[in-house]
Amino acid sequence: MVGILARVTGALFIATLISFTGRWLWAGEMLVNFRTHFALALALALIVSLALRRWRVTGFAVAGLALNAWPMYGAFFGPAPQPLADARPVRVAAFNVHVTNENLADIAAYLDALAVDVVVLAELTPTERAEQLAKLLPKLPHHYLAENDGLWGVAILSRWPLVAPQVATRDGVRVAARADVDLGDRTFRLYGVHFIWPVMPETARARNAQLQALGRELAECTHACVAVGDFNVTPWSSHFRDVLQTPGVRDCAAGRGLLTTWSSRLPAVLRIRIDQCLVTGAVSVGDVRVGESVGSDHFATINDLSIGAR
């Protein structure tokens, strides 16, 4: 028992150390996704080692737990939202519906019940499937089906007109579906994101390039910008944190807890957050919450924002 405890705690501690190498190593970037899992396992190891009075194991458990808990500080203790004068409320949802999910009527009913103003959908392919869902949502009459422009499975449906919808590209990297949402007396720029799944070193590099390109897009925001969708990255990743170092860029979920979004097939304690919301400029975040899965492996995210006047 004691030997197993020591080996497991040691393995968790080593995995924790490797998880901090994600900026340089693909293995580290994969391990960082399990930050919360390592913390829970090490907390259990700490309790058992204390009960057995195995002080060396306790020391490693405490150190490993601290290393995993420290990066999660911002998830629970974020900055207070800054109020905006003459702000307009906007509800922006994002949902990776899953490529094999045929529950379009249920998805439409759910989005309609949420009373969203704009929704970014991912894995809504082929285009005919996106068109079918759009017909089920007459309250969102303005559409941009980015697959028609080569961005697989991404669609934006909006209550408000979409100005100059297009696929945003930086230095040859496809970043997101982009459109200016016209609220009548003001606009905000929306990025509908679905980044590459980083399950191999080469796809991880491609995903990181997309993150970097999005950061450059947000750095040039001239009024109010919102980026939502399936980023395929957890908040603990150094590459995601690099984007947050862009002046003015904020994580909508900061201070609101873990808000895990994937996978609906797993118990809640094992889920991770890979669906993100970033804002910059004249945008205030009122509330962020996780919605339903409606047959997908992702949960929808609902972001209640306020857009300031120019």
Domain extents in the chain: 2-76, 88-307
Q: Residue 12 pLDDT > 80, yes or no?
A: yes
The pair of structure tokens assigned to 174 is 């496809």
Examine residue 263 and say whether the peptide bond preceding it is cis (omega within 30 degrees of 0). yes
pTM: 0.95
pLDDT at 2: 74
Give me the phi and psi of 110, to 5 degrees please: -65, -45
For 61-124, where are the E strands, in sequence order? 88-96, 118-122
Q: Amino acid identity of 196? A: I
The pair of structure tokens assigned to 7 is 């080996």
Q: In this predicted model, what pLDDT tens digit does every residue of 69-122 receive, in sequence order?
A: 999 999 998 877 777 888 999 999 999 999 999 999 999 999 999 999 999 999
pLDDT at 250: 96
Give me the phi and psi of 255, to 5 degrees please: 80, 5
Q: In this predicted model, what pLDDT tens digit does every residue of 116-167 receive, in sequence order?
A: 999 999 999 888 899 999 999 999 999 999 998 888 899 999 999 999 999 9
pLDDT at 272: 98
pLDDT at 289: 97
Per DSSP bridges, beta strands 283-290 and 275-281 are unpaired
| Mean pLDDT, the chain, integer | 95
Rounded (5°) CA angle 77-81-228:
90
| Average pLDDT over every residue of 44-67 | 96
Alpha-carbon distance of 106 to 84, in angstroms, equals 36
Buried b (16+ CB within 10 A) or exposed e, 47-80: ebbeeeebeebbebbbebbebbbebbebbeebee
Q: How confident is the model at residue 64 (pLDDT cuts 50, 70, 90)?
A: very high
| Average pLDDT over every residue of 180-203 | 97
The pair of structure tokens assigned to 5 is 């405890």
pLDDT at 43: 97
Reply yes or no on domain 88-307 having CATH 3.40.640.10: no
